[in-house]
Amino acid sequence: MPTLIFATNNQNKVNEIQSLVGSDFKIIPLKEAGIDIDIPEPHDTLQENANEKAVTIFNITNQNCFSEDTGLEIDALNGEPGVKSARYAGEGRDFQANIDKVLLHLDGIENRSAQFRTVICLLWKDEVNGLQTHYFEGTCKGHIASEMHGEKGFGYDPIFIPEGASKSFAQMSMDEKNTYSHRQKAVTQLFEFLRLK
Ligand code: IMP
């Protein structure tokens, strides 16, 4: 089975993506690749951060790899927390503190529409074309609930209700979340591309 390094330390993302890809590819997270670093996300766009993560890992391993960066973009907050989603309430990257901050900022605001956006960066090297950089993007529109619902998933899942659903991502099984999710849409494009390679 072909393997591909995924430049992440987030096991939730690994599980979601591996369940989508099935047995076509084996996804290797950083820990399994023997890499113990916290890759910085210093940029103002998801694309630049995704690129930084993939380039960092490619430079260490010299192996084909991909990374992803995801942001929650809330209309009434002018697209915030967006690229700052992980550290919205501070450097601790605390899921609960981030959720509390979103709910506080949206208190009394009627427009609660939002979207998750994922950008994947693939670094792919082959003998024909050398090293190439490819991007894939997926979005999931929805709205922010007035309080937390459910205990599954991670991050902002308990307050995000995708369009067409009546429950939050945190109330869904991983398979159900994958039918709606931003990550699934970006990952599907990535693996369609790889299958044609
Ligand atoms: P990053 O892509 O790891 O930088 O994630 C940015 C922030 O968004 C982190 O706080 C994540 O927990 C959160 N996040 C990323 N993807 C999801 C998701 O699918 N559901 C809920 N929160 C997410």
* CATH number reported for the structural domain that contains residue 107 in this entry: 3.90.950.10
Each residue's pLDDT tens digit, 119-133:
999 999 999 999 999
> Which of 38, 44, 72, when mutated, tests ligand 1's pocket best, judged by the most ligand atoms within 8 Å of its CB?
72
Q: Please, what's the b/e burial string for 13-28 (b: 16 or more CB within 10 A of its CB; e: otherwise)? A: bbebbbebbeeebebb
Cis peptide before 81 (omega within 30 of 0): yes
Pocket (CB within 6 angstroms of ligand 1): 10, 41, 69-70, 72, 85-86, 98, 116, 153-157, 169, 183
Range of the domain at 55: 3-195
In the block, which residue shows the tokens 């960092």? 56
Q: Residue 186 pLDDT > 90, yes or no?
A: yes
Side chain identity, residue 22: G
User: Would you state the pLDDT for residue 38?
Assistant: 87
Q: What is the mean pLDDT of residues 2-15?
A: 94
Domains of the chain: total: 1
* Max CA separation in the chain (angstroms): 57
Residue 105 Cα to ligand 1 middle (Å): 18
Residue 129 Cα to ligand 1 middle (Å): 33
User: Would you state the pLDDT for residue 45?
Assistant: 98
Query: Which residues make Cβ contacts (< 8 Å) with residue 152, sequence separation at least 6?
Result: 169, 170, 171, 172, 173, 174, 177
Active site residue 69: yes
Q: What percent of the chain has pLDDT over 70?
A: 100
Q: Residue 1 pLDDT > 90, yes or no?
A: no
DSSP 31: T
DSSP 133: E
Residue nearest atom 7 in ligand 1 by C-alpha distance: 86
| Catalytic residue from among 24, 38, 69, 126 | 69
Residue 130 Cα to ligand 1 middle (Å): 32
Residue 128 Cα to ligand 1 middle (Å): 35
Tokens of 68: 């992803």
pTM for the model: 0.96
